[in-house]
Amino acid sequence: MNVVIKPRPPLAARVIFAAVLAVLFLYVIPFAIPNYLVSQLATVLVFAIAIIGINLVTGYGGAITLGHAAFVALGSYTTAILVVSYGWNPYATIPVAAGLSWLAGWCLGFPALRLQGLYLAMGTLVLSITVPALLKRFDGFTGGVQGLNVGNPESPVKWLDDSQWIYFVCLAVAAILYFVAARILSGPLRRAMVTARDNHLVAAVLGVDRAPLATATFAMSSLYAGVAGSLYAMIVGFVSPDTFNVMLSLSLFVGAVVGGITSIGGAIVGAMFIQFVPTWASDIDVSLGGLVFGVALIVTLVILPSGIGGLVGRLYDRACVRLGWTEAAQDERDERQTAGSIQNEPA
């Protein structure tokens, strides 16, 4: 009999884990730490959303992209322009930013299909270089070099201050997008993406049409970046072209690698890395910020090619096997219980 080892913790363990996460994200972070840290952790959630998009297109789609800052800029400026110039409610701009980013990603996905590997990375890198320059050119619309002052949205709830409110908004959006990504990567679509990534010939034999799949993945990744940009504009309250430069694209990519390029759960780890570690390093020495990024990327590629998220996943799998929390073990227990109940039945 073929046995597939798949982690399957008991219900009690899952309930305890969910309760711990709920206490951490719903109470400890927003109410038990200083407000400036709450704002920084809201930014971590925003970066995690963008990193999940990179995981989709690079980790599972196999396309190396270094242009995510351009789509983050599109989302941020969509929110900023609609709020400043047209008086929109900032929360109503989130779906607009998502839609425009998805459309831009879909349109750019078609020519990107002609590029592979390093050429695609260079093409998307050019996108990150040109977008800030374009934003500076149309100063009557985008504010030019001076940018746009969006302002921070006020909390509609009396017992929540502004930083706590925007944190909960970012948490809700991040939870929804995480669930969507988890659903995408939990069924046949994941197998199609991985097959198309690893072997184009096998994918064609199995009937996987790589062109629309790759384009849709690129568009979905862009949507995540656009939503992240929209939320980022609300947190910071100000957007300018220099914010969305090449360094932001590289930082997001490094965060995806450190967290785990195929681990959507590791996106939060990668986001915390790019938010806090360079700042702490710069406090010691200004020149250490870039050095930390380079060293972290090299160490991760050499020692932890699957990232911190991949390492945690392997440790979790081993712990479940040792504790007998696997699907195979559960099926075996169910079979024993069924056999016992049959034997105990009266003749």
What's the whole-model pTM score?
0.90
Rounded CA-CA distance 67/85 in Å is: 27
Distance CA 327, CA 271 (A): 32
Predicted pLDDT of residue 343: 47
Q: What is the mean pLDDT of each run of 10 residues along the chain (347 residues)?
A: 65 91 94 93 97 93 88 96 93 96 89 74 87 88 89 89 95 96 87 83 79 88 96 95 91 92 92 88 72 78 86 87 74 50 49
Both structure tokens of 276: 């806090």
At residue 328, the pLDDT reads 61
pLDDT of the residue at 303: 87
Helices and strands in the chain, H and E counts: 16, 2
- What pLDDT, on a 0 to 100 scale, did the predictor assign at position 346? 53
Structural domains in the chain, sorted by start: 11-338 (1.10.3470)
